[in-house]
Amino acid sequence: LFRGIVRRMNNELSNYLRRCVEGNRHFNLAVGIKPGTLSNGLKYSLATGNWGDQKKAMSSTAGVSQVLNRYTFASTLSHLRRTNTPIGRDGKLAKPRQLHNTHWGLVCPAETPEGQACGLVKNLSLMCYVSVGSPSEPLIEFMINRGMEVVEEYEPLRYPHATKIFVNGTWVGVHQDPKHLVSQVLDTRRKSYLQYEVSLVREIRDQEFKIFSDAGRVMRPVFTVQQEDDPETGIDKGHLVLSKDLVTKLAKEQAEPPEDPSEKIGWEGLIRAGAVEYLDAEEEETSMICMTPEDLELYRLQKAGVALMTHGDD
């Protein structure tokens, strides 16, 4: 939009200068550049929702900016989380309107309008989060320091079974010990040295390790489970990182909010402590997720070698 308005200003200025040269007159930039062109163009698009040049209103995208719905608190929340599928409403296709397995936990299965837009206008779930993106250079630097060989220096004959490392879809290098590297990068994310919205996907079968730090990925929070016994925190393997101590602090904070905002724990504090982490759809596919605390208890018992009674047993 901004580029289009600036292009129009340049064209108007060049036409004015051409007329001045042909009429043998002095230039006056105050006349050549109209002061309201840029602000009026932006105001028009924000007011009408027609995103584009005013003269080409027919070809511009409609409904990009909308007046926020303020009927009730629930309708405001719903409006802020709304997503739109750019498919013609008049089509009678059922496939794009149906729920998809990958929407699990990210898109609300019930909140959708009736009528023609049913299933095309969806709503993000309340805890869902859209990533804003972070630079990937520090991440590449970190992995080079942890033994990653950059792709320019890689010789396939020397390491035929090395794991390829991709950052935002670009092949950046290879590593001999991917398990160690993945655990180190995951550890830095859980300790909040790394942005919490970076997603780490290890494809063991394809010998690939993909890292995404770009914007626009839909993510959801899950509670973290301790992978190994941690002597520092005293949390055993297979238990939630979210401890009673953290919950007590949160409850106390809720009852008596601290005067200094920097002392507040809140949701960010849980992320910093590594008790909660965000997973996107791709990382979710390579993760084991328990649906209930009972599932986690069963998993711990299985790992401990306890024979479990199934429903089929008498």
Model confidence over 149-158: pLDDT tens digits?
Answer: 888 888 888 8
Looking at the DSSP bridge assignments, the partners of residue 61 are 51
Residue identified by tokens 């080409």 is: 56
Grade residue 310 by pLDDT with cuts at 50, 70 and 90. low
Average pLDDT over residues 126-137: 89
The chain-wide mean pLDDT, for the chain, equals 85
Grade residue 220 by pLDDT with cuts at 50, 70 and 90. very high
Average pLDDT over residues 268-287: 88
User: In this model, does residue 72 exceed pLDDT 70?
Assistant: yes
Query: Tell me, what's the pLDDT at 29?
Result: 79
Please name the residues in contact with 242: beta carbons below 8 A apart, sequence gap of 6 or more.
223, 224, 270, 275, 276
The model's pTM is 0.76
Query: Tell me, what's the pLDDT at 58?
Result: 67
Average pLDDT over residues 285-296: 88
Find, among 49, 39, 47, 48, the residue nearest to 5 by Cα: 39
**CA 21 to CA 34: how far, in whole Å?**
19
Residue 50: CB atoms within 10 A of its CB come to 20
Least confident of 62-71, 84-93, 169-178: 84-93
Average pLDDT over residues 235-263: 82
Phi-psi region of 67 (alpha: psi -120 to 50; beta: other; left: phi over 0): beta
Q: Residue 188 burial by CB count (10 A; 0-12/13-18/19+): exposed, middle or buried?
A: middle
Grade residue 24 by pLDDT with cuts at 50, 70 and 90. confident
User: In this model, does residue 52 exceed pLDDT 60?
Assistant: yes
Query: Tell me, what's the pLDDT at 133?
Result: 87
Query: Tell me, what's the pLDDT at 308?
Result: 67
Please name the residues in contact with 209: beta carbons below 8 A apart, sequence gap of 6 or more.
163, 164, 165, 166, 175, 178, 181, 182, 200, 201, 202, 203
Average pLDDT over residues 218-228: 88
Q: Which two tokens stand for residue 100?
A: 């998809």
Burial 56-69 (b: 16+ CB within 10 A, else e): eeeebeeeeeeeee
User: In this model, does residue 314 exceed pLDDT 70?
Assistant: no
Residue identified by tokens 């003269």 is: 55
Average pLDDT over residues 242-254: 86
Going from the N-terminus, what domains does the chain have, and what CATH number goes with each? 2-48 (no CATH), 73-126 (no CATH), 132-303 (3.90.1070.20)
User: In this model, does residue 232 exceed pLDDT 80?
Assistant: no
Average pLDDT over residues 56-81: 84
Q: Please indicate whether residue 59 or residue 101 has the higher confidence score (pLDDT).
A: 101
**CA 161 to CA 51: how far, in whole Å?**
50
